[in-house]
Structure 1
Amino acid sequence: MPHPTPGGHPNGTGTHPAHGLSGPGRPPMDFDRAPFLVIWETTQACDLACRHCRASAQPCRHPDELSTEEAKSMLERIREFGPVIFVFSGGDAFKRLDIVELTRYGAGLGLRMAITPATTPLATREMLQALKDAGMSRLAVSLDGSNPGIHDEFRRVQGSFDHGLRILREAQEVGLTTQVNTVVRKNNLEDMDAMCQLMTELGIVFWEVFFLVPMGRARPEDVASAQGFEEVFHRLYDLSKTATFDIKATAAPQYARVVTQRKAQEAADAGERPDADVLTQGAHHSLKDGIGRARNVNDGDGFMFISHLGDIYPSGFLPVRTGNIRTDDLVEVYRHHEVFTALRDRGNLKGKCSVCNYRPRCGGSRARAYAVTGDYLEAEPYCAYVPPRWAQLVEQGRVPDDAAYFAQRQRAVTELPLL
């Protein structure tokens, strides 16, 4: 659905130009018509008790979770978008006894299937083999520290780190490609160099680095500073030049701005024309299993999340409900619901994001803006960059500086609804 607001996206119309769905023979995707990625929270049941858990997961499954037949109908409808990436998340997806059956069904429809199980004994080698045989393309494991001390303290279950390494090894042995998901937070910033080193040893194709959003069990005091984010962005970019895997920053679209700045500086130093692509040179590693990569994905913009009860959200970290698959058509919700359409028109952004010269490539985390201010269109609260136009407005006294701006708009995290 086109949006006429000028400047909303790079073609200056508010509609989406080619976002570049990386992969041989794959046409560019129009995020107004289809997401690149759909995540389903299969259940909130989990044997871990992670300090940041978005879902505040619990030991037992909810009696009103989607049934097997409802999940199959959901997969059929999602396939109307095209061969999108579909991820089983949680809680722990292995708490559902039908996960292999649903994997086979989704793969049979032509969806690109992936899973993010909890790092527990439920992820057996036999289960991994069954998923591979059913058509699973990729498995992602969470590692949130370079050693058991850091990771297990965060996940609050001893042995979780060792299970993570075991699951990665066994998944690779049965032929699944693997990725690692890592949460960046205040108390693991000093571990990032060691994490980078660990990633080079694991045989993964993708490292997804998630920058904490203060919702669920996470709190504002857990989030690293904007400058802390910035330092990690530069470490990731440096690693991307030599890594044997792709790197993506999640809930931190400002990483695209850092990539653009670094590439422009390198081109200037070499007297060359700058590379306009915001993907780093390791992006081809994501093609090994057909999953691929897309540019410019953001909350509700190339992304959709479905809860264990069937509720539809722009992402798992933006708890603004837009419908339920039991009563609403998820394709229509994604394409036409006012929340999704507003999120896809970057001409709606406020504060310094509204005048940022990197807005088309970034757009700020809409989930973090909502968590901090209660407004998903507000400026990204954890961005160190000050756009030239915003700096000029601050100097003229027409707007407050960042600290004063967000102090005026901050709300208590306890007001946030949970999914």
Structure 2
Amino acid sequence: MRPSFENIDLNERPFLVFWEVTRACALACKHCRATAQPHADPQELSTEEALKLIDAIAVLRPPMLVLTGGDPMMRRDIFDLIRHAAGKGLRVALSPAATARLIHTDFMKLKEAGVQSMSLSLDGATQETHDAFRGVPDTYVRTLQAARMAQEAGMHLQINTTITRSTLGEVDAFLELMKELKPSMWSVFLLVPTGRASLDELPSAEEVEAVWHRLEELSVDVEFGVKTTEGHHYRRVALQEAKRKGAKPARHAVPTRDGKGIVFISHTGEIQPSGFLPMTAGNVRQDELAEVYRSHPLFVKLRDDDALEGKCGRCEYRRICGGSRARAYGMTGNAFASDPLCSYQPR
């Protein structure tokens, strides 16, 4: 089940904590935010530091802790970290790479350790397009296999799909694939130019708008949830369509964005607004995570809807959307500028 948003003050605690437990990964994905590498960084948090970080995360009481990477399965102590987090009352989600290592992992042991949710990436609707995107053969087959294994183990399954210029034409094919996989949630990620992701792969704002309208249309008739990552203006489209139809949106929109309900901890302990917005506000090795999230000027300003500039600052939907601060930063150098991939003109 999706964690509840009720009674959460996003100024006091985040809705989601993303922790990049390692940058080690066997894949070579074209869009990799982390620019992952085959071996662990010698500066990544030690087991002792990692356990201390989990204690600090528990203070914030987020509805979900997402262990990501790199590939979190590359950490030898991953089961210990999962068990410690679950023991602190944290809802643990795991975002592994679809490798042979994952397929040979006992998913029931992951579930017993405390993994309640698993997110897997499908960035091509066919084996050819997905494997080309991921940079390693057979990742498509392994992803489908891992999805089945997660569901059989009783985990909540989320499928993440990155929309790029080259995959725009696969939206309907992706939908048919989701109907077969039956995930709990399909999260459509709109590319941010950071890490290995390049500007050349970004679709136009008009193309993005068309995708959001298509997703809103499709979301009405499917059994799984549909949401977006770094595509906050999908919430605006859903509200507009609901108003036009005289109905309520298909699902409640949690008004998160980089630094607002989201906090990211890097493999070396850096505290950032998200994994796609590389602006560092502290480090867990010497700073209190809760204090940085609640009080650091960067986070405070990112949560201020009236601090947004350009048309995002004038937009009547800024409180539920606010645009991607990461994409604004990646494309303009200003984290408070308008989201360049939104075509909407405020009234």
Aligned to 2:316: 357
Q: Does 1:145 align with 2:124?
A: yes
Q: Select the residue among 23, 31, 40 that pairs with 2:19.
A: 40
Runs of 4+ in 1 over 6 A off after TM superposition: none
Residue 90 of structure 1 is matched in structure 2 by 69
What's 1:64 paired with? 43
Q: How does 1:1-400 map to 2 (within 5 A)?
A: 23=4, 27-124=6-103, 126-267=105-246, 274-275=247-248, 280-281=250-251, 295-388=254-347
Query: What's the secondary structure of 2:19's corresponding residue?
Result: strand
Q: Report the 3-state secondary structure (helix = DSSP H, G, I; strand = E; otherwise coil) of the residue aligned with 1:367.
A: helix
Q: CA RMSD in A?
A: 1.4
C-alpha distance in 1, partners of 2:147/2:215? 21
Q: Offset at 1:383?
A: 0.4
- Give CA-to-partner distance per residue, 1:188-243, whole Å, 9 cap, x none: 00011100110011021011110000111111111111111111111211121111
Distance 2:182 2:204 in 1: 31
Which one is further off, 243-252 or 124-133?
Answer: 124-133
Per the normalisation by structure 1, the TM-score is 0.81
Distance in 2 between the 1:177 and 1:301 partners?
A: 24
In the alignment, the residues of structure 2 paired with residue 96 and residue 170 of structure 1 have an alpha-carbon distance, to the nearest angstrom, of 21
Is 1:213–1:368's contact at 8 Å kept on the other side of the alignment? Answer: yes
CA distance in 2 between partners of 1:27 and 1:149 (Å): 42
Q: Is the 8 A contact 1:311 1:321 kept in 2?
A: yes
Q: Tell me the secondary structure at the aligned position of residue 214 of structure 1.
A: coil
C-alpha distance in 2 between matches for 1:61 and 1:125? 20
TM-score, structure 2 normalization: 0.97
Q: Equivalents in 2 of 1:357, 1:179: separation in Å? A: 30
Question: Does the aligned pair in 2 maintain the 1:113–1:135 contact within 8 Å?
Answer: yes
Q: Which has the greater radius of gyration?
A: 1
For residue 58 of structure 1, give the secondary structure of its aligned residue in structure 2: coil
How far is 1:357 from its partner?
Answer: 1.4
How far off is 1:359 after superposition? 1.1
Structure 1 distance, partners of 2:281, 2:54, is 18
Q: Any conservation in 1 of the 2:118–2:157 contact (CA below 8 Å)?
A: yes
> How many residue pairs were aligned?
346
CA contact (8 A) 2:3 2:63 kept: no
Indicate how the Cα distance of structure 1 residues 112 and 379 shifts in structure 2: closer, same or farther if over 3 A, else same: same
Tell me how far apart the structure 1 counterparts of residues 121 and 218 of structure 2 sit (CA, whole Å): 19
Provide the rounded CA distance (Å) in 2 between the counterparts of 1:117 and 1:81: 24
Whole-Å separation in 1 of the counterparts to 2:7 and 2:208: 30
Give the letter aligned to residue 16 of structure 2: L
**Is 2:312–2:322's contact at 8 Å kept on the other side of the alignment?**
yes
Task: Tell me if the contact between 2:192 and 2:230 (Cα under 8 Å) persists in the aligned partners.
Answer: yes
Distance 1:230 1:73 in 2: 43
Matches of 1:127 and 1:329 in 2, distance apart? Answer: 35
| Percent of aligned positions that are identical | 45
Structure 2 Cα separation of the partners of residues 74 and 134 of structure 1: 18
Residue 22 of structure 1 deviates from its aligned partner by 5.6
Judge which range, 88-97 or 237-246, deviates more: 237-246
For 1:336 and 1:127, the matched residues in 2 are separated by: 41
Instruction: Report the Cα offset of residue 247 of structure 1.
Output: 1.0
SS at match of 1:55: coil
SS of the residue aligned with 2:162? Answer: strand
Offset at residue 125 of structure 1 (A): 5.0
